[in-house]
Chain A
């Protein structure tokens, strides 16, 4: 039953992606193309890989340091900090870019500080440095959040044993922490690499011009500017192949997750000198991560967020954002759990294990513009009006978009449960539903809460899918923000950005607690 549902989901996702590409290909046949020289694919691949590789390594490194320090340190506001860490990833990239520029730009905070010292970093945030910086801020925080979750899941008995043995910081890291983290690194690393490899808005704004490009940008240009749909499909296939080269090893080589449990309440801080080092590292990194978000808040609140109440369409857009967010979070959770459960039952060496992991990533590998255009064409071919299809497409697309993140959070947990409790489940002869109710739900509630918050906020911040389906009558908050920006209404746009940030952080604080509370009631 569980296997079947997993295979069904995997099959449906694969069929959907194939149908979208086919729709585009068919449409491409009916238009004369008058493309110029076309992009230099080898050059694009080299540039994108170097940029994405650098971004991934730096993101994992900063993510690790953040998680390591946060795991050991306790301070007031820690929950808020953890909540904010996750929000950067899911905010519309335009918002993060704006915050980044407000801090690192020519007229930004850093330069204002340096000005007193008589020096300046100028406009160095534009170009490759800016792209990598933005990616590390977005993805380093995501990596930190996932790793922190793993560290907190180390069972207290292990910690007690370690403390009794008097493990030093290095041996503690090697014996307790690294094995806990190992199962997440390939998945998280692959996800981050793909995100950076296919990065779009950040590369467009911070890239500095046509010199810095990704395949994703080239595909966008083929579709929107040259209207060469055939070329777009060809470039998309190149991107799919490259991404598969990343995904396949990452999913097959990842070591199995074994540790799993509820959040450890046991707190075992490091010795004083190490704790000091952690504090310094944490403060520096957090300043780097949170300053752009703070800048978004400051700019938005500065411009009277209350004015939004009167902005035409604000309430309607807000309501749409909320229900689309809730619907896509629910769908995303169902997909992630369905796939994760089926995969946990399949031996890691079997090809089926890979087959169940791949659909999770396809959405990352397929360019957003191709997907939204494909959805648009499919809706037309099935006779739906684009107006009627828009909400459905938005929910499906956003659920698929957040699937890799939800899966990265839930799959290791599901696998750990199966490997640790499999024998018990068989011995007790638990049925599927009671296995879920008695074992999985209490253990999974926390990561599920996080995955739900992630999916909800992802959808809340989406600006890619809505841009082809949004109209003046069907709008979400980010779309309203983008439109305001296009009509000299920078103040409104900044206020909406601040509001989105507040909503995201709130969701990350509230939703996981809600799930935990629900699970606790059943104890």
Chain B
């Protein structure tokens, strides 16, 4: 408590010195994707929690996607209202760095509960999950257990995926297949193409198609079934465990260099990594917490598949090759 309060007090002091003209200081604006800021998302609880411990106000501004939030800040340039962009992930961090908008946060990380070491100086983790194909146990007895199984299924088996340029799970699949198949990825996409019903712009359209019974499996998260179990008491939806492993997505937040109150922004990122803040994330954002949350993780998550081995490609390699890998996948789909 003392540890997180101190930067707040410093921020208050610096803020009052830094800008006399702006009486409305001690205010943070966080650009994020819509589901995060929504009334039913983590936004409201995090706002209440953070405002209770700092003498400040914080507002979440929703863009249609995390990339949309980044684009908006890019367009606004130096005079953007945003202090923090939250929601970029391990695959799009490179885009963020390339924009030149972010500064190093200077945080000391607590003991993190992530499948890999995390030491990024610019982006702090918020929560994480693994990509997986979700299926309906009432419609499918034996789900595929590997990428090889998937392309050996009957011809009328249909999966629905998302556009890698518009949606983070869509990009996740491109990276997942790359991590598993490497040089053979293009050949695998050729084999996969006939099974793809459609490529939607966003995750929601594809998940809706799946729930409506139009597709046998949808590209989503290993934790998607937790939503159905906890919020709907429905156990029919499960994630298919692939023996090659599951690709990891870590959602991150970063501070913009243009922020007038970088210390307050840092305090918020620090708050996000507290057990209190982490306790709101699993059941509002349906992702895993990065530290043991207050009150533990809802047992509804216990039944989630073990993603081992958790896959993650090196961030620099991803940033340098994303476009080529997307083109490679699309060549097979055209």
Contact = CB atoms under 8 A, between A and B. Distances in A.
A205 interface: yes
B29 to A, nearest CB: 11
A485 B75 CA distance: 28
Interface of A is mostly: loop
B196 A488 contact: no
Interface string A97-111: 010011001110000
A211 B327 CA distance: 13
B64 interface: yes
B130 interface: no
A438 B209 CA distance: 54
Contacts of B40: 312, 487, 489
Contacts, number: 119
A464 to B, nearest CB: 11
Contact of B212 (A107, A126, A208): A107
Interface in A463-521: 467-468, 470-472, 482-483, 485-490, 493
A471 B61 contact: yes
A472 B47 CA distance: 14
Interface stretch (B2-10, B14-22, B30-38, B117-125): B30-38
Contact of B156 (A122, A224, A226): A122
B318 to A, nearest CB: 15
Nearest to A211: B334
Contacts of A207: 198-199
Nearest to B323: A36
A22 interface: no
B207 interface: yes
Contacts of A102: 212
Interface in A230-276: none
B68 A205 contact: no
Q: What band does the interface of chain B fall in when counting residues whose beta carbon is under 8 Å from A? A: 35 or more
B211 A467 contact: no
Nearest to A487: B35
Contacts of B182: none
Contact of A483 (B35, B200, B327): B35
Nearest to A489: B40
A208 B35 contact: no
Interface in A52-97: 94
B212 A206 contact: no
Nearest to A493: B208
Interface residues of A, number: 49
B158 A98 contact: no
Nearest to B327: A36
Contacts of B71: 224, 227
Given A105-B212, A472-B60, A488-B231, A206 B198 contact: yes
B39 interface: yes
B158 A210 contact: no
Contacts of B102: none
Interface string B319-334: 0000100010010011
A470 B334 CA distance: 33
A123 interface: yes
A468 B64 contact: yes
Contacts of A210: 163, 199, 330, 333-334
B39 A472 contact: yes
A12 interface: no
A221 B64 CA distance: 14
B226 to A, nearest CB: 10
B62 A485 contact: no
B333 A485 contact: no
B43 interface: yes
B197 A208 contact: yes
A380 interface: yes
Interface of A: 27, 30-31, 34, 36-37, 94, 98, 101-102, 105-107, 122-123, 126, 204-211, 221, 224-227, 312-313, 373, 376-377, 380, 467-468, 470-472, 482-483, 485-490, 493
30 contacts: A31-B74, A34-B323, A37-B327, A94-B205, A98-B208, A101-B209, A106-B158, A122-B156, A123-B158, A123-B214, A204-B163, A206-B198, A207-B199, A209-B334, A210-B333, A221-B165, A226-B165, A376-B75, A380-B76, A471-B62, A472-B38, A472-B43, A472-B62, A483-B34, A485-B204, A485-B205, A486-B35, A486-B204, A487-B38, A488-B207
Given A471-B61, A471-B62, A489-B40, 20 more contacts: A30-B77, A98-B212, A105-B212, A106-B158, A123-B197, A206-B198, A207-B199, A208-B196, A221-B165, A224-B166, A225-B165, A225-B166, A227-B71, A312-B40, A470-B62, A472-B60, A483-B34, A483-B38, A485-B204, A488-B224
